[in-house]
Amino acid sequence: MQKNQVFFIGSLIFAIIVTIFALTNAGPVSVNLLIYEFKASQAIVIFISAMVGALIVVFLSLWKQIEFKKKIRSLQRRNEELLKNIDDLTNVQNSIIEEEVIAVPLK
């Protein structure tokens, strides 16, 4: 099984556990957000909290992937530059060797 499949199955199991937990604790609850206060079902508060947490994880993961892709692109460019330098140095070395071979007098 691939890593993504294991992660997906684990996420589904966690979602089922959160759902069961939320539904068994569905009583009304008072929520205070700094100066704002409201009453809601505890199940809704649990679902919203889980969704906000999941969104934060997704955005942080996307941010990290974007940074990795930028790093990969810069490393690929650097690799191409170094390969070009190797080719240039090889050509220079070959031309020097050819000049030395030509300069060697025949006996």
What's the residue count for the chain?
107
Structure tokens at 68: 């990795």
> Do residues 24 and 42 make contact, with C-beta atoms less than 8 angstroms apart?
no
Q: pLDDT tens string for the chain (107 positions)?
A: 788 888 888 888 988 888 888 888 778 888 888 888 889 888 888 888 888 988 998 899 899 999 999 999 999 999 999 999 998 888 888 787 777 666 656 55
Largest distance between two CA atoms of the chain: 105
Describe the chain by its helix, strand, coil percentages, rounded to 5.
80, 10, 10
Q: What are phi and psi of 96, to 5 degrees?
A: -65, -45
Query: Model pTM?
Result: 0.59
The per-residue pLDDT for 104 is 58
Which two tokens mark 67? 């940074």
Given this model, what pLDDT does residue 33 score?
81
Beta bridge partners of 29: 40
User: Quick one: pLDDT at residue 84?
Assistant: 94
